[in-house]
């Protein structure tokens, strides 16, 4: 499975709290990022998020994912935990409010939080999984909004060609995006060998031409 680890450890100015204080403080503090991870699996991209809020995971209201291609919005996905910022009625809704392609596979999206209140992580962490069809984009933006209106943002430059390929997936740059071919692993390895050999032959040929001249 192709895995791209994109870990963000944000040093935000938030007060130090103990496990007993986390999730029950009166002072509202902005949410923060624990980890962001993207996994390429066949024709789907799986975006794993670990988000934290020292006022508890229940203080996270919405999470918005925006895909951009050099500044132009390609798609937008969202997770909404409540009906509205004043409500405690959990709806945990994944949706795609922007984009005509309907890339988000909502039935594969999921959320998780611990029911235990023993540790800070259990009180504060919310884990989300966004699953969407592979599409061409150059930047991924994440925006978290809490119930009090405080926000945190992360911006990740993205290049599918930089991902370590799956054993049977080959990424080919193309005019309007990256083509993805699913091939037997032996075929992909053979293509890689042929390309490497061709590159070597070209270098040798050019070197010989320079010697002759």
**CA separation for the pair 90, 202 (Å, rounded):** 62
Question: Per the structure block, which two tokens stand in for 73?
Answer: 């919005």
Between the alpha carbon of residue 63 and those of residues 6, 132, 165, the distances in Å are: 18, 15, 29
Beta strands, E only, the chain: 2-6, 32-41, 44-52, 60-69, 72-82, 90-98, 110-112, 125-133, 139-146, 151-157, 169-174, 177-182
pLDDT for res 155: 92
Distance between CA 90 and CA 103 in Å, rounded? 24
Q: Report residue 175's pLDDT band, with 50, 70 and 90 as the boundaries.
A: very low
Q: CA angle, 170 as apex, 165 and 172 as ends, to 5°?
A: 115
Three-state secondary structure readout of 65-91: EEEEECCEEEEEEEEEEECCCCCCCEE
Which of 183, 142, 138 minimizes the C-alpha distance to 165? 183
Confidence of residue 64 (pLDDT cuts 50, 70, 90): very high
What is the pTM (predicted TM-score) of this model?
A: 0.67
Instruction: Give me 139's structure tokens.
Output: 């930047």
Cβ atoms within 10 Å, residue 57: 22
More confident residue, 33 or 12: 33
Tens-digit pLDDT profile for residues 100-147: 779 999 999 999 999 998 999 999 999 999 999 999 999 999 999 999
- Domain 2-164 CATH assignment equals 3.30.160: no
- In the chain, what are the domain boundaries? 2-164, 171-212
């Amino acid at each position: 499975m192709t895995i791209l680890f994109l870990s963000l450890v944000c040093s935000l100015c938030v007060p130090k709290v103990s496990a007993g204080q986390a999730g029950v403080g009166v002072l509202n503090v902005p949410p923060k990022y624990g980890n962001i991870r993207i996994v390429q699996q066949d024709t789907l991209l799986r975006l794993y998020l670990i988000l934290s809020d020292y006022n508890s995971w229940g203080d996270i209201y919405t999470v918005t994912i925006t895909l951009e291609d050099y500044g132009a919005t390609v798609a937008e996905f969202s997770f909404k935990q409540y009906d509205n910022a004043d409500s405690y009625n959990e709806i945990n809704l994944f949706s795609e409010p922007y984009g005509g392609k309907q890339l988000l596979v909502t039935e594969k999206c999921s959320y998780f939080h611990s029911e235990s209140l023993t540790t800070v992580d259990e009180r504060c962490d919310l884990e989300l999984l966004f699953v969407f069809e592979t599409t061409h984009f150059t930047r991924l933006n994440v925006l978290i909004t809490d119930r009090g209106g405080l926000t945190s943002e992360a911006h990740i430059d993205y290049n599918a060609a930089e991902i370590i390929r799956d054993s049977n997936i080959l990424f080919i740059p193309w005019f309007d995006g990256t083509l993805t071919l699913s091939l037997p692993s032996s075929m992909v390895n053979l293509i890689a060998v042929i390309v490497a050999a061709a590159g070597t032959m070209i270098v040798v040929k050019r070197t010989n031409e320079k010697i002759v001249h």
